Amino acid sequence: MSDKGSTYLDKILAAKRAELAAPRATRSGALTDRELLELGARLPRPRDFIGALREGPRPGIIAEFKRASPSAGALREGADARQIAMLYAANGAACMSVLCDKHFQGSLDDLRSVRQSVALPLLAKDFILEKTQIVEAKRVGADCVLLIVAALPAPQLRNLIEFAHTLELQVLCETRDEAEIDRAMAAGAKLIGVNSRDLQTFELDPDRAAKLRKYVPKSFTYVAESGVRTIDDALRLRDSGADALLIGSYFMTAEQPGEALRELVMAL
Ligand SMILES: O=C(O)c1ccccc1NCC(=O)[C@H](O)[C@H](O)COP(=O)(O)O
């Protein structure tokens, strides 16, 4: 925890706000809401991320690409997103998540290059605060975007979910407790994630996603995020009723990420 009461998540969000306030090379930076909608609507239609999780074997695996993380430091420095994506696609991932934020040594270019390499539905894992980011994610090939309930006041959360859905993008709405799950559902989310990592302190509570499962009706798709370190962790989450598991570090630190994924998928 940092001093003066500000947390790691606060710092990441402050850095993101500064990034968004700086002059941008992309076209969408200076557009009105209406222009953004028109621009976003002209982009190719996204793939069905939720469908891929629900139609395949349960739980579906969302395999994540991240070179580094604020909590763990370097995971696989210099890794090529396309190579990892091809391993994930060949070894049983239902979908893929790509960390696009600089605190994870990621960027939207990683997502763009993954889109050009595999047909898997893709999640833009970023700290999204405004509509331009949703349009930019769609432009580089995202099918789903992450919205973190703890980072967004209720009206903004609802507004961004509605905007993404209008562009036919799906939204993974990330929560950490019962109150946030209620906020996510009230805001129109259909895909609800519970992160076992506390983004304020980075502490992992491996049982959190299992404990909170009962608060999300089966008509929603439930994703257990973070903290899978062993096949037994994944089996426990499967048994708790998670529809999907979002797993990054376990694959990114494996000697053979594709084999680690294949072994986990076979065990499930
Ligand atoms: O991973 C971090 O250190 C982190 C820090 C601050 C905000 C978000 C962070 N991670 C994003 C994620 O939610 C995870 O990358 C994802 O759920 C996969 O987690 P894991 O399998 O534990 O790598």
33 CA to centre of ligand 1 in angstroms: 30
**What span, in angstroms and rounded, lies between the C-alpha atoms of 81 and 67?**
9
Give catalytic status of residue 11 as yes or no.
Answer: no
Q: Residue 109's CB: how many other CB atoms inside 10 A?
A: 11
Q: What 3-state DSSP class applies to 61?
A: strand
**What span, in angstroms and rounded, lies between the C-alpha atoms of 75 and 5?**
28
> Tokens at residue 168, please?
């036919």
Give catalytic status of residue 19 as yes or no.
Answer: no
> Tokens at residue 113, please?
């290059």
DSSP string of 190-240? SEEEEESB-TTT--B-TTHHHHHGGGS-TTSEEEEES---SHHHHHHHHHT
Give Cβ neighbours of residue 211 (< 8 Å, ≥ 6 apart). Answer: none
Ligand 1 atom nearest residue 66's Cα: 15
Give catalytic status of residue 159 as yes or no.
Answer: no
DSSP string of 152-191? S-HHHHHHHHHHHHHTT-EEEEEESSHHHHHHHHHTT-SE
Measured in whole angstroms, the distance separating CA 212 from the mean position of its chain's CA atoms is 19
226 CA to centre of ligand 1 in angstroms: 6
DSSP letter (8 states) at residue 101: S
185 CA to centre of ligand 1 in angstroms: 22
Q: What 3-state DSSP class applies to 92?
A: coil
**What span, in angstroms and rounded, lies between the C-alpha atoms of 133 and 92?**
29
Q: Best mutation site among 127, 149, 197 for ligand 1, i.e. most ligand atoms within 8 A of its Cβ? A: 197
**What span, in angstroms and rounded, lies between the C-alpha atoms of 222 and 243?**
5
Under a CB-based contact definition with an 8 Å cutoff, are residues 58 and 238 in contact?
A: yes
What confidence score (pLDDT) does residue 202 get? Answer: 86
Ligand 1 atom nearest residue 69's Cα: 3
Nearest residue (by CA) to ligand 1, atom 8, is 199
DSSP letter (8 states) at residue 69: E
**Ligand 1 pocket residues where CB is under 6 Å:** 8, 64, 66, 69-71, 195, 197, 199, 202, 225-228, 246-250
Which one from 125, 131, 136, 196 is the annotated catalytic residue? Answer: 125
pLDDT along the chain (268 residues), means of 10: 63 92 67 92 97 94 96 94 98 98 96 98 97 96 97 97 98 97 98 93 90 97 96 96 98 98 97
**What span, in angstroms and rounded, lies between the C-alpha atoms of 259 and 224?**
21
Q: What is the pTM for the complete model shown?
A: 0.95
72 CA to centre of ligand 1 in angstroms: 9
CA dihedral in degrees (19, 108, 206, 203; nearest 10)? -30
What confidence score (pLDDT) does residue 200 get? Answer: 82
What confidence score (pLDDT) does residue 198 get? Answer: 87
What confidence score (pLDDT) does residue 21 get? Answer: 86
Place of tokens 């946030």: 180
